[in-house]
Amino acid sequence: MIQITDKEFTELVEFMHKNYGINLINKRQLIEGRMSNVLDKMGMKSFSDYITLIKRGNNEHIETLINRLTTNHTFFYREDNHYKFLKEVVLPEHESKSVTRNFNIWSAACSSGEEPYTIAMAIDDYFGAKKSLWNTRILATDISQNVLNKAKEAIYQEESIKGLPPTWKTKYLKKLDNGKYEIIPQIKNEVQFKTFNLMEPIPTLQINKYNLIFCRNVMIYFDVNTKNDLINRLYDALVPGGYLFIGHSETVQREKSKFNYICPAIYRK
């Protein structure tokens, strides 16, 4: 196994934190364990050669590094209380107050698409025949083009969809001959995918603000200052009264944020 020197480790940690917000300060063994074979296959003898390569801005190698050191595991209807809150609180509230009938959602760090497609299903299920009267926009972003390509393909293993309500499986998925499932066009067309680094200015969907932001299970890779900065930028990206959903293993420091705490993993502007 190729070992990383103190100098190489410091250089890599600083590069990843500055450019992607990812905190690797306690991940030295993880870096060596998951990246040594990558370097070996590339014919490199040290991490210095690899760091030089990624600093040149080679997106393919940077994406490989990020994918190796973070987890893209996700599934449909994950943290189901969020989707119940969406249908029981957020949508009824918005339906009663909205004049424009616009509803804008951002699924940040969406991975392979399970989250934004579940959001689209929940919205369609709530509005039913009235859905055509509403202009709903779902922007789904991730730093990895590889996982976004999978999301755009919209084909999933049975294991990934097992948490969906049975009626949703029948209504929104098409079973393929190979045992996999494909998202129907009606739901697939609701989501716009885009590559995005959370350290960059917040993206828009030709709109000014979002009604709801999902930013779940990504801030676990950030240090406190990076996380607080992101949370404040998410706050600014929401309309007054807009909601933020985060992962259940994540928290918002209330003294560092303007968000109002609603319930575990749900906050409001």
With CA atoms as reference, report the closest residue to 201 among 171, 239, 223, 233.
233
For residue 41, what are the contacts with CB-CB under 8 A and spacing of at least 6?
none
Successive 10-residue mean pLDDT values, the chain, 269 residues: 93 93 92 91 91 86 86 86 97 94 95 97 96 95 92 96 95 94 97 94 73 95 94 95 95 92 96
For residue 76, what are the contacts with CB-CB under 8 A and spacing of at least 6?
114, 117, 118, 156, 160, 161, 163, 164
267 burial type by CB count under 10 A (0-12 exposed, 13-18 middle, 19+ buried): buried
CA distance 66 to 88: 36
pTM over 0.85: yes
User: So what's the pLDDT on residue 210?
Assistant: 95
Give the type of residue at 206: Q
CA distance to 78, 111, 250, 252, per residue, from 216 (Å): 10, 11, 8, 12
User: So what's the pLDDT on residue 207?
Assistant: 59
User: So what's the pLDDT on residue 74?
Assistant: 87
Going along the chain from its start, the domains and CATH numbers come out as 6-69 (1.10.155), 81-268 (3.40.50.150)
User: So what's the pLDDT on residue 113?
Assistant: 95
155-183 burial, b at 16+ Cβ within 10 Å, e below that, comes to bbeeebbeebbeebbeebbeeeeeeebeb
User: So what's the pLDDT on residue 206?
Assistant: 53
CA distance to 59, 82, 183, 185, 269, per residue, from 171 (Å): 38, 21, 10, 12, 34
Token pair 């930013």 is found at 215
First to last CA, the chain: 49
Q: How many CB atoms lie within 10 A of CB 113?
A: 29
44: phi then psi, degrees, rounded to nearest 5: -95, 145
Are 67 and 38 contacting, i.e. CB atoms less than 8 angstroms apart?
A: no
CA angle 192, 123, 109 (to 5 degrees): 40
